[in-house]
Structure 1
Amino acid sequence: MELDERPRPKGDLASQLASESLDSFSHHELDERVSLLEAEIARVIAHRDKAAAHRRAADALFGTPSPQGSGS
């Protein structure tokens, strides 16, 4: 199994954030948190798009790999 195909651990930071209680946060703290999360989402989307462009360039150069287990 390739390194990037391994399942993500259940206890990653995104899972921890999703399960954290928000009851103790003030309105201002929640606004700050939303801003930080929106910035992180934008960063992840930019990285995803860059990785996809890199993959498309590699596929264009080397050809698209055939599906595994196709028997051909």
Structure 2
Amino acid sequence: MREDEERVRKAPSHEIGQALDALSVDDLAERIDLLRREIARLEAARAAKESARGAADAFFKR
């Protein structure tokens, strides 16, 4: 088995505050994309919770 076939590419992950010196430009682009998707996911969750809270507030303020 060839060496490059043995290496399994792990999904990109990022730890806040980690050193960035060893990352390539492509690695950095992957991290940026990963973090943008995570921000979008967090914003969607927040919007859903705000909507549920607003509905509950409206119901109990009758």
TM-score (norm 2): 0.72
CA drift at 1:31: 0.2
Unaligned runs of 5+ in 1: 1-15, 64-72
Does 1:31 pair with 2:29? Answer: yes
Q: Output the aligned Cα RMSD.
A: 1.3
| Higher RCO (Cα < 8 Å, 6 or more apart) | 2
When Rg is computed on C-alpha atoms for both structures, the one with the higher figure is: 2
Residue 48 of structure 2 aligns to which amino acid in structure 1? K
- Equivalent positions of 1:11-26 (< 5 A) are 17-26=15-24
Residue matched to 2:4 = none
Unaligned runs of 5+ in 2: 1-13
Residue matched to 1:7 = none
Identity of aligned residues (%): 42
Does 1:44 pair with 2:42? Answer: yes
Query: Structure 2 CA distance, aligned partners of 1:33 and 1:19?
Result: 13
